[in-house]
């Protein structure tokens, strides 16, 4: 027998937890499935400087813990579980299977599953994962005290990771595939003025070398074709993210990049009645904690009106 629920929220980042706050206050008794990374990607960052209301900044983990206790205060139930399968319907019951085999039947569903870090796709990247290769400078940076490391990417994440790593590492190579940064001006300037950072422009990573652990990174200049081998003990791809929407492929309309389509622009409604989406899984444009939170709010209001 499936466990009957009024509203299930998949994901516990800013989108999922803001939806939970609003839905709980609307007496929808939401069940939040926290997913593979409770608290979402913000728990992987250090200081969040751009979330309104925190003039001195706030640690990502602290912000998420506060959002969670705010949601729980109004009666949201948080379960540390993830859905492994779903059977979505247009306006009917939304079926979910959990990791432990349990079945849920929800009258409404908010998908706030977020996005995951992208990898280059080199075989050595997989082989040396956690042996020098990491997607999280905040988590692993301290292991590289006094050692040279490399970051790949030209966005804000790459600048943030490179700056963070400069506190520990002896030298930080920043490998950028074009000759410009995608990062915001303020982050770009901060990175360029850091003496420990060395930018390799128009450059791509060809291979990672090392048997038991990373020792070197082979880089090719895309303009001259020249190759360089960098001594590196740490390697941090910071290439942006891909939406965590595989579970819904074939059931919800997705765009070419895999983001959930919201056909009624300005609302959180997906291609199925009763299924709403919020946050990075449905937003390829803004992808900010505050925009995700705003989308979570809209999804809860849309779900409330749908259930009414």
Q: How far is the CB of 158 from ligand NDP (least distance, A)?
A: 6
* Residues whose CB is less than 8 angstroms from the CB of residue 99 and which lie 6 or more positions away in sequence, other chains included: 81, 82, 84
280 binds ligand NDP, rule: CB under 6 A: no
The reply on whether position 120 binds ligand NDP by CB under 6 A is yes
Per-residue binding letters, 33-52, with ligand NDP (x by CB under 6 A): -----------------x--
User: How remote is the C-alpha of 163 from its chain's centroid?
Assistant: 19
DSSP string of 23-67, one letter each residue: HHHTT---EEE--SSTT-GGGG-SEE--STT-TT-EEHHHHHHHH
d(CA 277, CA 112): 6
List the interface residues with ligand NDP, window 239-278 (CB under 6 A). 239-241
Name the segment binding ligand NDP (CB under 6 A); options: 7-15, 96-104, 176-184, 193-201: 176-184
**Whether the Cβ atoms of residue 191 and residue 165 lie closer than 8 Å to each other:** no
Closest CB to ligand NDP among 31 and 239? 239
Q: Which stretch binds ligand NDP (CB under 6 A): 73-81, 175-183, 216-224, 243-251?
A: 175-183
* 210 three-class SS: coil
CB closer to ligand NDP out of 157 and 166? 157
CB nearer to ligand NDP: pick between 28 and 124: 124
Nearest-angstrom CA–CA distance, 27 and 7: 10
Please report, as ranges, the residues that interact with ligand NDP according to CB under 6 A: 50, 120, 152-158, 160, 177-178, 182, 184, 239-241, 287
């Amino acid at each position: 027998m499936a466990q009957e629920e009024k509203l299930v929220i998949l994901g516990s980042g800013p989108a999922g937890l803001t939806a939970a706050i609003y839905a709980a206050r609307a007496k929808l008794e939401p069940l939040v499935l926290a997913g593979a990374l409770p608290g979402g990607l913000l728990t992987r960052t250090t200081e969040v400087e751009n979330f309104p209301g925190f003039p001195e900044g706030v640690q990502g983990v602290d912000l998420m813990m506060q959002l969670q206790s705010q949601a729980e205060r109004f009666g949201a139930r948080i379960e540390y579980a993830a859905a492994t399968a779903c059977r979505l319907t247009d306006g009917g019951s939304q079926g979910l299977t959990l990791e432990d085999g349990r079945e849920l039947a929800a009258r409404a569903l908010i998908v706030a599953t977020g996005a995951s870090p992208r990898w280059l796709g080199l075989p050595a990247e997989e082989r040396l994962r956690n042996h020098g290769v990491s997607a999280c400078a905040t988590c692993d940076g301290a292991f590289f005290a006094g050692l040279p490391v490399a970051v790949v990417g030209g966005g804000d994440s790459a600048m943030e990771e490179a700056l963070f790593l400069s506190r520990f590492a002896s030298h930080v190579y920043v490998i950028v595939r074009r000759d410009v940064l995608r990062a915001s001006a303020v982050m770009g300037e901060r990175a360029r003025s850091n003496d420990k950072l060395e930018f390799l422009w128009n450059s791509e990573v060809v291979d990672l070398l090392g048997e038991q652990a990373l020792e070197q990174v082979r880089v090719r200049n895309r303009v001259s074709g020249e190759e360089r081998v960098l001594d590196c003990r740490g390697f941090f791809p910071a290439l942006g993210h891909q939406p965590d929407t595989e579970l819904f492929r074939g059931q919800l309309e997705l765009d070419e990049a895999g983001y959930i389509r919201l056909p009624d622009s300005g609302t959180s409604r997906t291609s199925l009645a009763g299924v709403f989406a919020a946050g990075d899984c449905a937003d390829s444009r803004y992808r900010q904690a505050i925009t995700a939170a705003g989308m979570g709010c809209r999804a809860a209001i849309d779900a409330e009106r749908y259930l009414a």
